[in-house]
Structure 1
């Protein structure tokens, strides 16, 4: 059975525009999380970003880990993840401590996402040094090792080029065994996918594109063979941006609130705006390419909870 997740409206993709009060914006996010929790979704997801896309704006973007912790207490069943946590925004020892705490707060429902990071504007705006790619990836490699070490060992020590830790006390280490579920996002072939093979419970690749999914998973499989990891035990996830239309809907009119002021053509370039059959065919193509876990981003759910149910109707076809 294919499992499905859905993003909550956090603001990063301009998906809270039109809701003026910050408390109402938060409640719109929570409402989607609760609707997913009441349904058959396996997970809910947040982005780890500070400024909106496709362009930075003064619109709301709720902080990822604060929201993760709060939603852990607003829900009872669904897993809660980040797609994905940016390594550059938190020291990895702090990340290990935060994620362990949230895993307990959620009673073992955390999907702890981590990646190297890419949004240069945010890094600089918040005062983080923007390293060259080789240094971002080098730091990311060390960070994953530290996080897993702190999740699994007492008196853990690490001394590297970018980070060092000296017996940090990380108690409790979490609830899920043998450690919180680690989702490593990105398709980097030399570092990221190798880290998935070594440490990850799940990968996230391809952005729903079947050709990319196939290529990246073939490389992941090679890395698994090299390090002696069972490829089949790793979750292979991919993201799809979808807007489920009802029969007879005019796409421009139906997506007006969901677009948050973004031009329709720009919006449509990154979103499958279609009925259930077409969206299901996109899911099927991703699964045929090797994915086994689908995460939907559904713009507009902050304004219309029925979109959660429409997207779930697609997911149920693969149950």
Structure 2
């Protein structure tokens, strides 16, 4: 079975840079992981779009998502660069589209532009963004995805909605990859998010590595694709993998095989402590990835 793989760089959000005191050295540790992935056989590197650490906000480093994406675009030459996922509430969708277009050019067409509705309430409020309940956030997200798509595909797009409007903005260049930057929508909402995937996205991210959940969400996605006349097989079906450093490579392969059987064809791995020790990531690249090529 064929499967492609991405890896998260240590960005600080998961308290994964705290053992490095100097912020410049922290950034370089993050970049070093991206460059290691760039050497192969990884398809992509990924960052989160968050400002505060988890499981609770602490006075520790969390590097900003799109700034990181733009610098990694120039610090690497081969791997694709993605966000899992950009938070819709943090940027007007027209600005999101403009930023993504710029990074796609900076990376020579290697951007995986991720977007989701957002969920980290404390972070929204701390940074002065208006927090709303789920129905309102999802309604805004629905409009935002349409705005982004228009910004990437129309010369002078117009949109007037309840949450967003644009009045013939110019977005040039729109990017390098055709017909537009690769659009990844994260989240498993069955009525809104997966329908948006079916209509607009090049890829989705569902299930959190749980085979049963992956299977269920992808069945819903297939139904939306059938209803809209979209080719389901043209959508990348990604999921996440939290690497367990205590398990063997064979056990990891077994976990990924179950994800693949559920319908996933792309795995984005988080490797604990990779800022300090590259060996588990290298072992994964040498012993796990070749099993799915």
The interval holding the TM-score normalised by the smaller chain is over 0.9
- State the partner residue of 1:316: 290
User: 2-side partners of 1:298 and 1:208: how far apart?
Assistant: 14
- State the partner residue of 2:14: 13
DSSP 3-state at the match of 1:317: helix
| Displacement after TM superposition at 1:55 (Å) | 1.3
> Across the two proteins, how many residue pairs are aligned to each other?
291
| Displacement after TM superposition at 1:204 (Å) | 0.3
User: 2-side partners of 1:307 and 1:35: how far apart?
Assistant: 12
| Displacement after TM superposition at 1:243 (Å) | 3.3
- State the partner residue of 1:290: 263
Deviation track 1:104-130 (CA, whole Å, cap 9, x = no partner) reads 000000000000000001000000000
Stretches of structure 1 lacking an aligned partner (at least 5 in a row): 245-272
DSSP 3-state at the match of 1:290: coil
DSSP 3-state at the match of 2:148: helix
**Structure 1 residue ranges, 4+ long, deviating more than 6 angstroms after superposition:** none
Give the TM-score normalised by the residue count of structure 1.
0.90
Deviation track 1:125-145 (CA, whole Å, cap 9, x = no partner) reads 000000111110011000000
Give the TM-score normalised by the residue count of structure 2.
0.98
Stretches of structure 2 lacking an aligned partner (at least 5 in a row): none
User: 2-side partners of 1:54 and 1:311: how far apart?
Assistant: 26
User: 2-side partners of 1:146 and 1:302: how far apart?
Assistant: 37
Cα RMSD for the two superposed structures: 0.7
User: 2-side partners of 1:30 and 1:123: how far apart?
Assistant: 27
- State the partner residue of 1:258: none
| Displacement after TM superposition at 1:87 (Å) | 0.1
DSSP 3-state at the match of 2:180: coil
CA contact (8 A) 1:300 1:307 kept: no
Does the alignment pair 1:178 with 2:151?
no
Does the alignment pair 1:304 with 2:277?
yes
Matches within 5 A, 1:215-230: 215-230=216-231
Matches within 5 A, 1:270-285: 273-285=246-258
